[in-house]
Structure 1
Amino acid sequence: MEKKLPPHKSVYILPNLLTTASLFTGFVGLLSAIGGDFVTCALCILVSCVFDGLDGKVARLTRTTSEFGVQLDSLADLVAFGVVPATMVYLWQLESFGRLGMMAAFLFIACGALRLARFNVQAASSSKKHFVGLPIPAGACTLATLVLFHEYIPQSMESLLPVATLVLVYVLSFFLVSTIRFYSFKEFSTFKAHPFSSMVTVILVFVLVASRPKLLGFVFFLGYLISGPIYTLFILSRRGSRLLRDKNKEELS
């Protein structure tokens, strides 16, 4: 008969191994950023994001989710998607701003930590369809794809890049701790049946991004960043107003 370990002594190896792989890739990216290889650091952040997505999927599919895994995932995310991109973007563009650039990089880390803590507290009661605030992997990938997108910026606009990067870091930091809703893609499962048009759309998006990954990768994450305020202000607000009007009509009738 198999002997069960106490909850505090038993851990699931596979999902936690993927989380550790995400942490290790982030560490490699950190060393690359310190060494001045920002492209490698950006690629490491994107690979970490892949591992981060896989560990949650594997844990749910194999029913090996645990509180230990949740906390380990948050700690790994803070390093891979908080410390690493903040260090990268500071050494890449923000160092010239002195204390202002340093505080921008730190603000991104601090807001990322607050975002992860809030997510852990509200995970059980929050909607699965949307994230409250920008997910920290999306913020990190936005900065990583900006580094890769850099080669497409015209020489005449190079002087504007440091200021644009500084503004982007502050905007991302605000979005991390905001109450803006961002689509979570959790309902779009690869193991569920979807309309044929959804398959066509996914293939088209994949082909477009694969054709010019450095260019369209940043455009994709920038579009995701913009989609949150648009959805929250123009769709959710109207839906809330419509529900309030319907409720008032029911009370009057």
Structure 2
Amino acid sequence: MKKNAKAFLERNRWLKAVPNSLTLCNSLCGFAAIINTLRACDPSLPLSGASCPSILATSAILILFAMVFDALDGFAARILNAASMHGIQMDSLADMVTFGVAPATLVVIMTRSLPGYDSRFFYIVWALAAVYLGGAALRLATYNVHAMVEKKSSDKFSGLPSPGAAAGICTTVIYYNHLGMEIRYLAVILPIYCALLGILMVSKIQYTHFAKWLLSLKRNKKRLLIVVIILAAACWKLELTAFAAVNFYILLGLFAALGRKTGLLRTPVEPAKEAK
């Protein structure tokens, strides 16, 4: 069967372009998210009937949609035996746009639109978003370096993966739009949270490899039950469930690390690998 598959790929060399095409879709989603986010600065926006939170929520959805392409390009590369250093470099460049520049831009523009925002603090907001952007750049560069050396696969990541950091921002933006009400001090909390995510990306805190965690569901009934509960909750309140699940994942790694540091949590720590 492997010989037949290999022969099929030899006859259809165009399939080798599928992973890179998916990576391009990832970057295009990120670019579209940035352009759409900048629409929120349009002075004629109120006259168009669109609201700033709804536009920013659309940008957040575009970034989340890009994560589908990000997952599929790696899967396609393995299935089609099309993995290459060119593909790895291209993937990281796309991720820098989608999970680095786009979320940072989203935070800056959204903060400006929030009640309680003071224009005197624009440069502070910019600096906090820059911490996130720098964290994403350093993480993706480190991933590229480690990708050049084959390493044993691990169920843990060293530091928060860039898609996870972007998801933290996006689900927050989407949930805020869903609430349709003002949240006090969000103009202060959001930029600080953004900077924290940037620091977590370059930290040594261990995070579960979510894709491998999902693949273990057949062998682990407890994990399967967790997924069923999350899906049921999503059917009830999708925006709240997504916000809670993503931020729980982010904070769990942080609190687990603090627990190990203080001795409150004594669990074996396995070597973790770098992730994008």
Report what 2:253 is aligned to: 228
Corresponding residue number in structure 2 for 1:47: 65
- Taking structure 1 as reference, are residues 107 and 150 closer, same or farther at Cα in structure 2, changes over 3 Å only? same
Please give the alpha-carbon distance, in whole angstroms, between the structure 2 residues aligned to 1:122 and 1:231.
25
Report which stretch shifted further, 72-81 or 16-25: 16-25
Alpha-carbon separation, structure 2, partners of 1:186 and 1:216: 19
Q: Distance in 2 between matches of 1:11 and 1:231?
A: 43
Higher mean C-alpha displacement, 167-176 vs 143-152: 143-152
Deviations 1:147-199 (A, max 9, x none): 111146585x6231111102201211110111111101243354984344544
Alignment RMSD: 2.8
Distance 2:56 2:205 in 1: 30
Counterpart residue number, 1:119: 143
Opposite residue 22 of structure 1, the aligned amino acid is N
**CA deviation profile, 1:1-38 (whole Å, cap 9, x unmatched):** x9xx9xxxx99311111111111111111111000121
Contact 1:90 1:105 in 2 (8 A): yes
Which residue is 1:82 aligned to?
Answer: 100
Structure of greater relative contact order (alpha carbons < 8 Å, 6+ residues apart): 2
Calculate the TM-score normalised by the size of structure 2. 0.75
Native 8 Å contact 2:57 2:177 kept in 1: no
Q: Which moved more, 1:41-50 or 1:232-241?
A: 232-241
- Paired position in structure 2 for 1:103: 127
Gap change, CA 1:188 and 1:158, over 3 Å in 2: closer
Distance 1:210 1:106 in 2: 36
Residues 1-253 of structure 1 mapped to structure 2, 5 A cutoff:
12-36=16-40, 37-93=55-111, 96=119, 97-123=121-147, 124-125=150-151, 127-151=153-177, 155=181, 158-188=183-213, 190=215, 193-234=218-259, 238-239=266-267
Distance 1:11-1:151 versus aligned 2 partners, 3 A rule: closer
8 Å Cα contact 1:129-1:186 kept in structure 2: no
Letter in 2 for 1:137: P
**1:11/1:103 Cα in 2 relative to 1: closer, same or farther (>3 Å)?**
farther
> Residue type matched to 2:64 in 1?
L
TM-score normalised by the chain length of structure 1: 0.82
Superposition deviation, residue 209 in structure 1: 2.1
Matches of 1:191 and 1:20, distance apart in 2? 30
Identity %: 29
Distance 1:220 1:153 in 2: 17
CA distance, structure 2, for counterparts of residue 125 and residue 191 of structure 1:
21
Displacement after TM superposition at 1:115 (Å): 0.7
Partner amino acid for 1:113?
A: A
Structure 1 portions without partners, runs of 5+: 242-253
Moved beyond 6 Å, runs of 4+: none
How many residues end up aligned between the 2 structures? Answer: 234
The CA distance in 2 between the partners of 1:147 and 1:189, in whole Å, is 26
Distance in 2 between residues matched to 1:240 and 1:130, nearest whole Å: 12
Q: Distance in 1 between matches of 2:62 and 2:178?
A: 20
Secondary structure in structure 2 of the residue aligned to 1:131:
strand
